[in-house]
Amino acid sequence: MTNKYKDDFEIIFKKVIGVNTVTDDMEMNNIAEWDSLKQVQLIAELEEKLGLEFDFEDIITMTSVKKIDSVLKKF
Amino acid sequence: MREYQKIDRGLDFKYSSVYSLLYDKYLNNPEKEFVFSLQKSDHEVYTYRQFISKVIKVRLFLEKTGLKKGDSINLILPNSADFLVLYFAALSSGIIVCPINYSLVPREISYIVNDSKSKILFTDEEYIRKVEDILPEIPGIRKIIIFSRNQADVKYFNLYEAIDDSPCEIIGHDNINLDDKSVVIYTSGTSGNPKGVTLTHANLLADAQAIAEWFSFDEETRTLCILPLFHNNGQVVTFLAPLWAGGSTIMIKGNVSLIAFWDLVEKYKATWTSVIPTILSVLLSFKRKRKDNQMKGIICGGALLPRSVQLQFEEIYNVPVFEGYGLTETTSFSCFNPLKVNDRKIGSIGKELPVNEMSIMDDEGNILPDNSVGEICIRGYNVFLEYCNLPERDKIAFRGGWFHSGDFGFKDSDGFYYISGRKDDLIIKGGENLYPREIENVVYMHPAVKDCAAIGIDHPIWGQDVAIFIEGKENMVMTSEEIRKFCEDKIAVFKIPSKVYFINELSGLNEIPKGPTKKILRKELEKFYKENLADKS
């Protein structure tokens, strides 16, 4: 992950999803804890804490750490 | 039709099969937009003509594979046009469609594949790994076929190769009767294994018609399908019912964030959707504004809708919510609140649909008078045919010519029904049915566990969640994290207990409470949880 929000993202991601580490290969499909409810909480928390508002076209792609990274790079 | 599938007020079936419904709507308006299928940030649109052309091509392909009327196939696919094309292609050939919840772990999937006696399994690149993990355990599957947009993937046959955009002759006839089996949907079972609910073409047509007419769906109706198509709610309420009216539908993949809900409604001009109460709670939990002005209503079922959630949702978003009730065994819904907003009774599950009858019965099968609590029983054209391979279970479920739902409730003097509770130990988490036995069976396998009991506990968003109480073996220690980790490859994530309590760490509980026949007394555990643990969790 290389976007400018990297550090804040990792703190939020660990807290919301409930994991100890964040790696680029993490996806909703391969992380048991990352369910649809936590996905909603994650997006809501990122918007609130980072002061961003994502387009819905972006929101529906944000299902992996890599994809979230590419969305955050837009800001 | 069987005794429990008929009622005195007859139903004039306009179609003899689900495919003939599609064909008729195609003839009525071939160039009308029918399916919007959201693919990542883009979408595909199919007119009735384009959709049925693909159905015909896949149907011809299925027949070439040697599949015959009465054979079954499994689908492990997300919501998409691909799912629906395959669904209709199979149904038009008399092939039985058995979709599987892609959130299940391989062990659970293999049980359903084997129980359904399916011959071909269809999946996509996202879920093929789960299937590969169980190949040795599913010997009845003679072919795996995938939907892959990646042409380089040659390991399995890619169904996209059988579908192109060239014109084809659109065939109107099929060889299907109303009583033929159409779909088998698996739902949680009391014994720990899921049970397959077999539906007929008549079931799907009757329920689709009843829902479309109840809510006055028409050609302008456009539903947003956010519930998964592997459950009946997604298939019937947001797909077959609008099809019945000649409308259209928007297919959304399950893990698309609900944060985009109102954006999707606005962008695709959805007029109706169907949800579970959890979704309304989630939508209320963040402050996105409603942007559209065409949404007419939201259908809600699958679990009890808290009165506070409904009232708050309607106040904030100014869209009526119509609570109803049904089960997989009644194809989808069997009762709804009336479409006229002021005629609804908040807190009620509504009145029976014209295609079925409902009654409240005591344990002896006597119909009880109004306002008396008993078991909700249903019969009619939307009541399922049978459980898959479970004739003894059928006898219990259909005693006295009625389907016994296992839910307790009552009817008021205006004909509105209300739910009071469950007859058995069913836990409903976010619309998914779970029985404690299937969770306990897995936790028992842990070497340090001597005894355990799972219960449903209240959850503000999911409705219910799972807690498990464990008695450990002597001199063996374990942590709650170990127990949860142990469950991960054995049951789907949504079934893993969120709370794990060890009896030896609890004051006021020395062992798992059991009755004289060693049956777990879950009500006592629930009471203990509420009095001692709920506030601390």
> In this complex, do A56 and B264 lie within 8 Å of one another by their Cβ atoms?
yes
Which CATH number goes with the domain that contains B165? Answer: 3.40.50.12780
Domain boundary among B328, B361, B394: B361
Cα–Cα distance, B22 to B25 (Å, whole number): 5
Which of A40, A54, A61 has its CB closest to that of B258? A40
Which of B256, B282, B494 has its CB closest to that of A60? B256
Which CATH number goes with the domain that contains B520? Answer: 3.30.300.30
CB-based contact, B430 to chain A, within 8 Å: yes
pLDDT above 90: percentage of residues in chain B: 75
pLDDT at residue B254 in the model? 66
> In this complex, do B255 and A39 lie within 8 Å of one another by their Cβ atoms?
yes
CB-based contact, A20 to chain B, within 8 Å: no
pLDDT at residue B150 in the model? 73
The string of pLDDT tens digits covering residues B258-281 is: 888 999 999 999 999 999 998 998
CB-based contact, A3 to chain B, within 8 Å: no
Domain boundary among B314, B340, B361: B361
pLDDT at residue B355 in the model? 97
* Cα B339–Cα B429–Cα B233 angle in degrees, nearest 5: 40
**Do B357 and B431 have their domain in common?**
no
User: What SS3 state is found at B122?
Assistant: strand
Q: Which domain holds residue B91?
A: 14-361
Among chain B residues, the shortest Cα distance to A61 is held by B40
> In this complex, do B38 and A56 lie within 8 Å of one another by their Cβ atoms?
no
| Residue count of chain B | 537
**Do B257 and B335 have their domain in common?**
yes
> In this complex, do A44 and B285 lie within 8 Å of one another by their Cβ atoms?
yes
How many angstroms away from the CA of A44 is the closest CA of chain B? 7
pTM: 0.90
The string of pLDDT tens digits covering residues A5-48 is: 999 999 999 999 988 899 999 998 788 788 877 888 899 889 98
pLDDT at residue B154 in the model? 65
CB-based contact, A43 to chain B, within 8 Å: yes
Q: Are B63 and B32 in contact, with CB atoms under 8 Å apart?
A: no
pLDDT at residue B318 in the model? 96
Give long-range contacts, CB 8 A cutoff, 24+ apart: B139-148.
B140/B113, B140/B114, B141/B74, B141/B113, B143/B65, B143/B119, B144/B120, B145/B120, B145/B121, B146/B122, B147/B77, B147/B80, B147/B82, B147/B122, B147/B123, B148/B124
Q: Are B277 and B309 in contact, with CB atoms under 8 Å apart?
A: yes
**Do B433 and B355 have their domain in common?**
no
Which of B254, B259, B494 has its CB closest to that of A40? B259
**Do B291 and B438 have their domain in common?**
no
Q: Does residue B42 lie within any of the structural domains?
A: yes
Pick the CATH number of A6-72 from 4.10.320.10, 3.40.640.10, 1.10.1200.10, 1.20.1250.20: 1.10.1200.10
Q: Are B168 and B52 in contact, with CB atoms under 8 Å apart?
A: no
| Total tally of structural domains belonging to chain B | 2
Which residues of A fall within a CB distance of 8 Å from B254?
A: 36
CB-based contact, A52 to chain B, within 8 Å: no
Cα–Cα distance, B290 to B273 (Å, whole number): 14
Low-confidence ranges of chain B (pLDDT < 70): 40-41, 151-154, 254-256, 537
